[in-house]
Structure 1
Amino acid sequence: MNIERQYQANTRAATWVERFDRRRTLYIYLALAAYLFANNTINAASVWTEHNRDGVADIQLWEPFAWEYTSALSTLLLFPFLLFAFRHNPPRLTGFGRQLGWHLLATLLFAAAHVSLMVLMRELLYALGGGNYSFGPWLREFWYEYRKDAWGYAVFFCLYLAFRLAYSRLKGEASLIAENEPAANAAAEQVGQQKVPEHFLVKKLDKEFLVRVADIEWIESAGNYVNLHSRGRIYPMRGTLTTIAERLAPAGFSRIHRGLVVNHNAIEHISIQPSGDGEVQLQCGKQLNLSRRYRDAFKQALA
């Protein structure tokens, strides 16, 4: 394999996944807002049709749209809570009862917050129109809303898992080339050293791409993964920041924060604050925090 040619082909590839990743949260919210707007508009039209079946409506046209849109807006406002619940309790093969209990509690909290926000918005809208909104008996109506919210929670959770699976497949995952070279590692171990990798191998859609270690500008911790940042692209890699920092130290990488590692060659300048902390400005324009805990070791590495 011609490494340089493969590398150049990889750097020229600007896939939609990489562009999407830069504003992933924004795009997810826009997609959710579009779905809720379409779905709740259809629901509002259906409610209006039911109330106007005989040609004499007992509600005004704006009312079902107010009901549905306040519900949609409340869901949008609470979506960060849903993401938090999904991320902190993903499906596992063990502790099923505990997982179920967690999600049941999350559905109750979500429904309570959703109904409260929704009713508050409706009361404000009706007050502005000179009317009065009556939610009805709270216990009965909350149970009615809870069933819908619990189902919505389950649907969003399944969609979230499906999206993560598909997205990770498209985005790919990085690994060190040296990990796939047992002969090279064996030779390095004989002289008491660990082979310093020169490339990362990125597997994406059953294809393999090479990314030079020298082009990795900075690395950040992300749970069980670390994210490798190279020329505006992000490559996730399973592992800890401590391990990757130690492995890449001979290649000119240093830890500057509990969650950050930087490539010396990507640095434009460094500034130190009176508190002892500082900032590392990269040539790409990114600014990273420098913790005083790692400052001295970082200076020694640069020297």
Structure 2
Amino acid sequence: MEATAPIPPGKELDQAHRRRRWLMIGFWLLVFVTAAIGNTMTSRMDAIRYNIAAPTWQIATNEFSSITIGLFILPFLLWACDRWPLHADTWRRRLPLYFLGSVAYSAVHVVGMDLIRILVYGSFGSRYEPGPWTTQAVYEYLKDVRTFFLIVAVGHMVEWFGRHIKGEASLLDVPDEGPPVEAVDRPERFLVRKLGRDFLVATADIEWVQSAGNYVNLRVRGRDYPLRSTLAALETRLDPAVFVRAHRSYLVQLAQVTAIEPLDAGDARLHMTDGTVLPCSRRYRESLRAAAAGAEPALARA
């Protein structure tokens, strides 16, 4: 039987995240272009009303050079929001970094749009004069910082809402009063919040865990639930006789592995009960086989 290529776990969740990313880019493209067109029209009306010598090409260049650079920076800003998200337990530490990021955002924005204006003005036989750079830097930053944090706020809100639609998991904490219902250092269940409702997912139902940046995805009966944790931290809280590291990005439940397929390079493929094929790196292959030897002899012989 011909081996199939590995199917990336968390595919459904990753696709939803990519859809949200493109939705965000499309939304800001519409907002920026609409604002530039509107500002160009109103500035042209003001020039006519007050007899200001400002041709239409000049006004349009000033407006569209700004949004061009803003849209160029946008994917990097959205990536940074994913890489260093603001949460209840991280915002105090990361907020100063976001303010530094807003300064960098404004610097790139100002330099980029000035270069575009210099080139366009020159093509029309004119000369662009931005004025004193300190005045321009302060003036533009006071505008850019608002745009920067508006994009950050909307991006976080969209991602938060998207995770809650799919269902976001969390570890059960020690209660404020009374003993815990179970050992919190070795959780038997995870709390999942979805569309304002809470329900419990049994740890025994988790088929595998995939690292995904600041989150890990818990695979449960064909669905992925993001949990804000590192894979290493979660591994210490799961039973090592049940969940075994197969790759630097994956933990698998041994009972869900039906076969271990060796590869020439020393790596392997893990065939799961639902038909998904996961990667197993050479570094973890032998330890996984040793763990499987005590649970399922057929796997150890693979």
What stretches of structure 1 of length at least 5 have no aligned partner?
1-15, 187-193
TM-score, length-scaled by structure 1: 0.67
- Matches of residues 137-216 of structure 1 in structure 2 within 5 Å? 137-174=132-169, 202-208=192-198
1:293 maps to what in 2?
Answer: 283
TM-score, length-scaled by structure 2: 0.68
1:75 maps to what in 2?
Answer: 70
What is the identity, as a one-letter code, of the residue corresponding to 1:171? K
Among 33, 47, 50, the alignment partner of 2:46 is 50
Task: Write out per-residue CA displacement over residues 11-30 of structure 1, whole angstroms, 9 at most, x where no aligned residue.
Answer: xxxxx999743523222222
What is the identity, as a one-letter code, of the residue corresponding to 1:247? L
Q: How far 1:36 sits from its partner (Å)?
A: 1.5
1:226 maps to what in 2?
Answer: 216
- The 2-side partners of 1:249 and 1:185 are apart by 18
Residues 272, 278 of structure 1: 8 Å contact kept: yes
Task: Write out per-residue CA displacement over residues 34-70 of structure 1, whole angstroms, 9 at most, x where no aligned residue.
Answer: 222222222222222211225x662332332332222
1:288–1:134 CA distance, 2 compared to 1 (3 A): farther
Q: How far 1:131 sits from its partner (Å)?
A: 4.2
Among 95, 109, 123, the alignment partner of 2:104 is 109
1:155–1:283 CA distance, 2 compared to 1 (3 A): same
- The 1-side partners of 2:87 and 2:263 are apart by 44
SS in 1 for 2:114: helix
- Matches of residues 5-24 of structure 1 in structure 2 within 5 Å? 20-24=16-20
- The 1-side partners of 2:152 and 2:190 are apart by 33
1:218–1:92 CA distance, 2 compared to 1 (3 A): closer
1:295–1:132 CA distance, 2 compared to 1 (3 A): farther
- The 2-side partners of 1:134 and 1:283 are apart by 67
What is the identity, as a one-letter code, of the residue corresponding to 1:272? L
- The 2-side partners of 1:129 and 1:38 are apart by 25
Among 22, 27, 36, the alignment partner of 2:23 is 27
- The 2-side partners of 1:183 and 1:100 are apart by 34
Corresponding position: 1:255 with 2:245: yes
2:227 maps to what in 1?
Answer: 237
Q: How far 1:75 sits from its partner (Å)?
A: 1.6
What stretches of structure 2 of length at least 5 have no aligned partner?
1-11, 293-298
Residues 174, 237 of structure 1: 8 Å contact kept: yes
Task: Write out per-residue CA displacement over residues 212-269 of structure 1, whole angstroms, 9 at most, x where no aligned residue.
Answer: 8788564212456421245774311244534655736655x53222221245647787
1:4 maps to what in 2?
Answer: none
Corresponding position: 1:134 with 2:129: yes
How much identity, in percent, do the aligned residues show?
Answer: 33
Residues 216, 228 of structure 2: 8 Å contact kept: yes
CA RMSD of aligned residues (A): 4.3
SS in 1 for 2:55: coil
Residues 70, 121 of structure 1: 8 Å contact kept: yes
Matched residues, number: 273
Higher helix share: 1
1:90–1:238 CA distance, 2 compared to 1 (3 A): closer
